[in-house]
Amino acid sequence: MDSVTFSTNDVEHARVEVGRILSPHRLTPQADHVVTLRLAARKLGDVGVVDLDYGGPVRVQPEPLSSFYLVQMPYCGSGVVRHAGRSVFATAETAVVISPQEPFEKEWSAGTPHRLFYVQRSSVERELQRLLGHAPEEPVRFELGASTTTPQARAWRRGVDFFAEELAHAGDSSLLDHPSVARRFEEALVGQLLVTYRHNYSDELSSPAAHRPPSRLIRRACALIQDHHTEPLTVGDVAEALAVSVRTLQEAFRRELDSTPMAYLRACRLDAVRRELRAAEYGTSVTSIALAHGFVHMGRFASEYRTRFGESPSTTLRG
């Protein structure tokens, strides 16, 4: 768990420190007002919460987000956010959801403390695949403005606030001290985010077919692959263990997960490597962990890892 807290009246210091946590940006005080930045940031796994207040009115021009989604929720005050050709007036009743890749800029009025929630793109895509039952065909793009007053939005915000409070007590009898519990809570927050705020897959998520449980064959196949992902499995091995034909197994994966058994195996291996890299002690090598989880070609592994998680394996290890 990472935690950062600081305050400053220096604009350049504020720009650099916020940039380290979120993304590089330009920070311009408006109308000669003084910046009195107060920040508290906490991160666990793929999810982070930041409480941020610039004090005076500012204009913020970040670089496009490359690897994470960002939800901005003012406690009070207001601001204008421009993103992907749209503008939203952000208040305590209207949150802003920024999707990766597209440029954006923000103008906050004086007295606009806000809470930020951010999550890695790979985590959003992984949770969406679980909800849909198949891999998404294109990136998730949220609508920019999001009401905070609906019952679902209030429930999700309570979850975020609870998450932030528990992170503040991590290591001191927090519910998030156990890695498995923390991971499930992260997944629940990301899943509820996808259900709460509109995006290009919302209609599909709301259809009855999206809630159809996977078949017994797929459940058994996924469990078998997860349990034996370190072994040199083939499609034939999995089919034989489940007493079905290769064609039956492949068709089930295509129909229910829009994937293949081998793609699911690679995803399991990548997820396992990421978990181990996060928990690794100083001096552990990326290669040894990758080899232990069934990867043989390090170049291909590194490329697949970067595509899935938006960062290199060595970056995860250093983090």
Residuewise pLDDT in 10s, the chain (319 residues):
578 888 999 999 999 989 988 888 999 998 777 889 999 999 988 999 999 999 999 999 998 888 899 999 999 999 999 988 889 999 999 999 999 988 899 999 999 999 999 999 999 998 998 888 777 888 999 999 999 999 999 999 999 999 999 888 776 777 887 888 888 889 999 999 999 999 999 988 887 555 567 788 999 999 999 999 999 999 999 999 999 999 999 999 988 888 899 999 999 999 999 988 988 888 889 999 999 999 989 999 999 998 888 888 988 888 6
**Amino acid occupying residue 60:** V
| Secondary element (H or E) of residue 264 | helix 261-279
pLDDT, residue 63, reads 87
Rounded to an integer, what distance in angstroms lies between the CA atom of residue 49 and that of residue 70?
10
Residue where the block lists tokens 């997820």: 271
> Across the strands, what pairs with 233?
none
| CB-CB contact of 108 with 79 (8 Å) | yes
- How far is CA 119 from each of CA 183, 219, 268, 272, 299, rounded to the nearest angstrom? 13, 27, 20, 19, 27
